[in-house]
Structure formats: C-alpha cells, structure tokens
Amino acid sequence: MNENDTSDPPLTEVLGRLERDGDAVSVDFDRLFATDAADLWQICTDPGRLARWFAPVSGGLRPGGSFVIHFDDDDTPRCRVVACEPPTSFVWEWPIGDIATLVSVTVSPDDAATRLARLRVRHERLTPGQAAGYGAGWHTHLRCLDAEVAGSPSPDWGATWTALLGRYTALSEA
C-alpha cells in the first residue's frame, strides 16, 4: 500500500481482539514481521525507529524510566515504564484521562530459518468507549510498522485509522 492509498483495509485482514473484563476493555494484537527478533526489538524501543512507525518519544525507555509520546495531534502522554526485560518485553503505563492504561509489548522469534519475529501488543484498562479508537490506532500503527520492516512507504495514517474505526466499532459492540 502506498502513502496515497486511502482504500479500506482488506476484509481478510485480521483484526485485533477486544476482551472485556467488567468495565475494562483490552485490545490485543499478535503479528508476524519479516525480520528477526533482535531487529524487531530495536524497531520497538529505539526512539529514532519508533518515530518512523509510531511517534517520536523522549525520555527514558528503561526500567523505572518515564517517557513522553509526541503524537501529531499534540497529544503528549507522559508514560511510566513498569517493566522492561530486553530484548523480549516492555510494559508501560499510558495515562488516558484519569486512567493509567497499561501497554505490554512482547517480541519473540517465530522462525529463525525464515527470519520471522512475532510481536504481541496488549493495551489494557481501556473504557468501552475508547476500545474502538485505540484498536484502530494500534492496528494502523502496526500497518506502519509492517511498511517500516518492508522498507516501503507507510499508509496514510488518518485514512487507514478512519477505515478501521468502523470495523473496530462493530467489534466492540458485538
């Protein structure tokens, strides 16, 4: 997909899972990427590489550290690292309003012979009203990550998010 493509995501594309636990909702993604686990870890933790597919970050991406995510829409959440076990897992609190949501990222080799790595992302403690937007957002970022790994242009973020939002809204209402 090129950066000018605003078409809907293919209907065969696997959506993330939404899981409810009382009033809290989690969005979960499990994706394979055509790179090795060490490179995928770098893509997910190196500020320069994060800026290319997620957003610019500043601060300490280390155990006990804190960092700020600088999104294009002037949203700048101040996050706190809860746990970090390089090169496999990273957990942080992401404040959304008065709620300290929790994001877990796990990287693992999937098949060394074919140079595939698995990325699992789980965003917990979302409200039912937030789940669709954050599901569409993470899904869009992961499409950008796929483009980063492939060395191809990222999809148009806004158009992709908008196209996915309806699908995640339907999923959250199911």
Output the DSSP codes for 126-155: E-HHHHHHHHHHHHHHHHHHHHHHHT-PPP
Rounded Cα distance between 144 and 157, Å, is 8
Query: pLDDT truncated to tens, each residue of the chain (174 aa)?
Result: 334 444 455 545 789 999 999 889 999 999 999 999 999 999 999 999 999 999 999 998 788 889 999 998 889 999 999 999 999 999 999 999 999 999 999 999 887 677 899 999 999 999 999 999 999 999 999 999 999 999 999 999 999 999 999 999 998 887
- pLDDT given at position 119: 96
Q: How far is CA 39 from CA 95, 131, 148, in A?
A: 28, 29, 11
